[in-house]
């Protein structure tokens, strides 16, 4: 009997010790999670210390993708890829920062404006959107290019032209959608992670000294107040109205009722998009190329694209990421792409990263 009692006592002590270690391990894991979030935020905040990759527009060469029927033809259609997340800041890779979509597009448009043989731009869009400002700037650069040069823009959407991608397409004179494209996602989204409950659970808090009640609005260390929610919703609504006005200008034949019906954030198939007036035609890249020649009254033309050194030179389906970046730069794994959207912590931490506001014209399924 005494032996059994002694064994039971040892077992109870052992169980108590195991329980204590499990509790300590749980707290340790929570602390590691919090530390990881801090490190991610620090990486975002310190992005300004990365080595910048300067644009190398002088190294761009004009490559022929489709020859003109006649060797004497000098007229050209420029294929301009607009792919991935639309951003205005540099993309990081290891300790290097690569040119943004906005920088690359601006550089190519400037080159095309100076080339009288380029008559039309064929904008190939494959993007879920991006930041509100980058989307708006891209649209503005395309509009300015048209006004400055008098050259037309034809859009062909590939996998998707969603949200900011569709916003940029509003600068086009004609929009083609690939038969399997998804188009639309007219709307605004903002990300405000909240970890204050985790902090309370493990006894970690952030003490803030501020000049006004809303100075830290959107902070992931506290929840929204009703007034915070109202303020942020007002910003979202204002950005949505701008989106709608851009669509109204780009698709003047679309009725107000139809525009309101398609602006709830959803995406549409190519056939649905044509029926609703979001695009003009459903077709392939060849069809869009022919439309470029037709809109500029060209009997014949070659299809060309700007390429950087050492880039893959295949055909008009080849992607051209970072046409202005240094191809000799080391590649790292500082970020991850999900649905073509690059997550380097800036989208996750939103307002905590001063380099990027948390508001997006972005489709995030």
Q: What are phi and psi of 136, to 5 degrees?
A: -65, -40
Annotated active-site residue in 69, 148, 215, 313: 215
Set 53, 100, 163, 305: catalytic member: 163
Q: Output the CA–CA distances (angstroms, integers) from residue 174 to 251, 278, 280, in the order listed.
A: 10, 11, 6
Helix 132-149, helix 226-250: angle, nearest 10: 20
User: Does the annotation mark 215 as catalytic?
Assistant: yes
Tokens representing residue 50 in the block: 């990365």
Q: Rounded to an integer, what distance in angstroms lies between the CA atom of residue 226 and that of residue 202?
A: 26
- Cα-trace Rg, the chain: 26
The three-point CA angle 259-263-266 to 5° equals 130
Q: For the range 347-351, what are the long-range contacts, defined as Cβ-Cβ under 8 Å and sequence gap of 24 or more?
A: 347/191, 348/40, 348/191, 348/193, 349/40, 349/41, 349/44, 349/193, 349/220, 350/190, 350/191, 350/192, 350/193, 350/218, 351/192, 351/217, 351/218, 351/219
Give yes or no: 163 in active site.
yes
* Cβ neighbours, 10 Å, residue 135: 29
Which residues form the catalytic set? 163, 215
């Amino acid at each position: 009997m005494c032996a059994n009692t002694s064994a039971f006592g040892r077992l109870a002590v052992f169980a108590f010790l195991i329980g204590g270690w499990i509790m300590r391990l749980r707290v340790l894991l929570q602390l590691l999670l919090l530390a990881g979030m801090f490190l991610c935020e620090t990486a975002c905040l310190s992005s300004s210390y990365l080595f910048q990759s300067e644009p190398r527009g002088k190294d761009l060469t004009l490559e022929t993708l489709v020859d003109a029927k006649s060797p004497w033809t000098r007229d050209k259609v420029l294929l301009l890829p607009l792919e991935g997340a639309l951003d205005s800041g540099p993309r990081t890779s290891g300790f290097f920062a690569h040119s943004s979509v906005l920088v690359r597009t601006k550089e190519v448009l400037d080159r095309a404006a100076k080339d009288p043989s380029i008559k039309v731009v064929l904008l190939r869009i494959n993007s879920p959107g991006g930041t509100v400002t980058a989307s708006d700037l891209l649209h503005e650069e395309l509009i300015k290019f048209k006004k400055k040069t008098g050259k037309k823009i034809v859009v062909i959407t590939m996998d998707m032209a969603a949200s900011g991608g569709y916003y940029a397409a509003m600068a086009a004179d004609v929009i083609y959608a690939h038969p399997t494209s998804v188009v639309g996602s007219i709307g605004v989204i903002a990300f405000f992670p909240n970890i204050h409950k985790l902090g309370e659970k493990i006894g970690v808090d952030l003490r803030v000294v501020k000049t006004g009640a809303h100075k830290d609005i959107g902070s992931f260390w506290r929840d929204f107040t009703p007034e915070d929610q109202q303020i942020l919703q007002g910003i979202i609504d204002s950005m949505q109205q701008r989106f709608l006005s851009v669509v109204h200008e780009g698709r003047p034949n679309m009725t107000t009722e139809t525009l309101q019906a398609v602006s709830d954030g959803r995406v549409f198939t190519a056939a649905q998009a044509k029926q609703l007036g979001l695009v003009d035609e459903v077709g392939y890249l060849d069809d869009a190329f022919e439309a470029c020649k037709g809109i500029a009254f060209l009997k014949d033309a070659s299809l060309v694209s700007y390429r950087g050194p050492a880039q893959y030179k295949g055909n008009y389906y080849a992607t051209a990421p970072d046409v202005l970046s240094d191809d000799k730069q080391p590649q790292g794994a500082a970020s991850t792409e999900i649905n073509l959207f690059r997550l380097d912590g800036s989208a996750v931490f939103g307002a905590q990263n001063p380099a990027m506001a948390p508001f997006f014209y972005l489709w995030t399924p």
